[in-house]
Structure 1
Amino acid sequence: MAAPANKTIGDLSGTWSMNKNLSDNTEPGLSLQGVSFLTRKAIGLASVTLTVKQYSGPHLPPSSASGDCVRIDIEQTATGGIKGTTENRCADGEKRTHSDWLFGTVESSSHFVQAGDALKQALGSGDHAVDAASVEYLASNWVVDESEKTGPDGAAHLISVADNQKDGWFAVQVWGFQTIGGERRHARNIVLKKGDKKVEMRIVYDFVS
């Protein structure tokens, strides 16, 4: 189901399901991240659902910042006996450590960014900078009209970075909305890197409720 007009980067709250027909094959990315063959196959057969709560709340530790930040809590569930995962994000750009059964221990951060050149500049700089080809991939195909600019300071995207130092992989995601199959849908462009290996993939979500 297409995303309703009131669902934007400024309010992702609701239930979303991964559309496997419109998404890229996730197996190469999961393989690069060290997920076992049997688990990759099980995930490939499962239906994946995200329950998202986006709100304003206190900064998560280790931040000492006062005031609130945009919080995005995600409960991911799957069919076929696949154990779910939980992500509690604070979109303030600070690095935090997160562990789960699927991806192990990762250092991650999230922050909002404006569209167009601002997005490309953010992707090509800082300690999460990626190569020029990856910048073009991550910054491509987004709907960037005024109705999408609902995040802080007119942001249209969220950049999410994850670094698993033990297993040696690094991931950058850009969240937003794209026109896919003639309909506006929530999507994530993702680049995964491990050594000289790189996987690019897009994940597309249907809005459920």
Structure 2
Amino acid sequence: MAAPKDMTTLDISGVFYMNKSLGDDLSEVFVLQGMSWITRKALGVANITLHISHKKNDAGVEVIDIDQTLSGGIKGTSEHREMDYEERGHEDHIFGKVVGKSRRLAIADVKDDHLRSGFPEELNAEGLIESIVENAENDWIAHQVWGFENIGGEKRYVRHLVLTCPNRGKRLEKKMVYDYKGPLN
């Protein structure tokens, strides 16, 4: 289902379902991130749902909290993003120890062609959301830009990903597309 017409990147609160038929295959990403074979296979067949809460904290900084669930209610990862571009550490059962930072930026300020392409100004006038997460142990950096695109005539929440592995000389470009399922309960 399309995202609501009035939804902007200022508040992406809601429940979103990964639409694998509209997005790219992520299996090579999972290999480069060092996931076990069984985890890769499970993620490959699972339906992934994002439960996103987007608000401002007491200091006025945007905070995005995301809880992922897999088919059957299996807990995925949790993400906590404070949009102040300060590095924060996190550890979870899928991605291990990571350091990440997030911020809002204008489309024109996105330097990478893949990360910038496809985001129309009219759907992203408030800017895009940038997230950079690094796992030094497994040698990968996931650089994502989030926003809205018109796909198949419908407004969709989309994440563009560039995954690099500096010590291995690898770079992957992927797009994840999500269907809007409804408001966050």
- TM-score normalised according to structure 2 size: 0.93
Secondary structure (helix, strand or coil) at the match of 2:20 reads coil
- Residue by residue, what CA displacement relative to the aligned partner does 1:53-84 show, whole Å, maximum 9, x if unpaired? 100104xxxxxxxx220000111000157432
Match of 1:158 in 2: 129
Secondary structure (helix, strand or coil) at the match of 1:111 reads strand
The structure richer in strand per residue is 2
Q: 1:53 to 1:32 in 2, by over 3 A?
A: same
Residues of 1 paired with 2:118 and 2:169: CA distance?
Answer: 26
Unaligned runs of 5+ residues in structure 1 are 59-66, 121-134, 151-155
Counterpart amino acid of residue 23 in structure 1: G
Match of 2:103 in 1: 111
Match of 1:143 in 2: 120
Residues of 1 paired with 2:115 and 2:124: CA distance?
Answer: 17
Match of 2:14 in 1: 14
Secondary structure (helix, strand or coil) at the match of 2:155 reads strand
> Quick one: percent identity of the two aligned structures?
40
- TM-score normalised according to structure 1 size: 0.83
Residues of 2 paired with 1:169 and 1:102: CA distance?
Answer: 14
Match of 1:46 in 2: 46
Secondary structure (helix, strand or coil) at the match of 1:208 reads strand
Counterpart amino acid of residue 181 in structure 2: V
Counterpart amino acid of residue 68 in structure 2: Q
Residues of 1 paired with 2:75 and 2:34: CA distance?
Answer: 17
Q: 1:40 to 1:97 in 2, by over 3 A?
A: same
Unaligned runs of 5+ residues in structure 2 are none
Counterpart amino acid of residue 88 in structure 1: H
Secondary structure (helix, strand or coil) at the match of 1:84 reads strand
Secondary structure (helix, strand or coil) at the match of 1:3 reads coil
* Equivalent residue pairs, number: 180
TM-superposed deviation, 1:193:
0.8
- Residue by residue, what CA displacement relative to the aligned partner does 1:127-177 show, whole Å, maximum 9, x if unpaired? xxxxxxxx11111011212x5323xxxxx2011000111111111000011
Match of 1:200 in 2: 173
Contact preservation (8 Å) 1:43, 1:82: no
Residues of 1 paired with 2:7 and 2:137: CA distance?
Answer: 36
- Residue by residue, what CA displacement relative to the aligned partner does 1:79-98 show, whole Å, maximum 9, x if unpaired? 15743211111000000001
- Residue by residue, what CA displacement relative to the aligned partner does 1:82-135 show, whole Å, maximum 9, x if unpaired? 4321111100000000110000010000000012x2222xxxxxxxxxxxxxx1
Secondary structure (helix, strand or coil) at the match of 1:28 reads helix
Residues of 2 paired with 1:114 and 1:183: CA distance?
Answer: 22
Residues of 1 paired with 2:35 and 2:156: CA distance?
Answer: 28
Residues of 2 paired with 1:24 and 1:11: CA distance?
Answer: 25
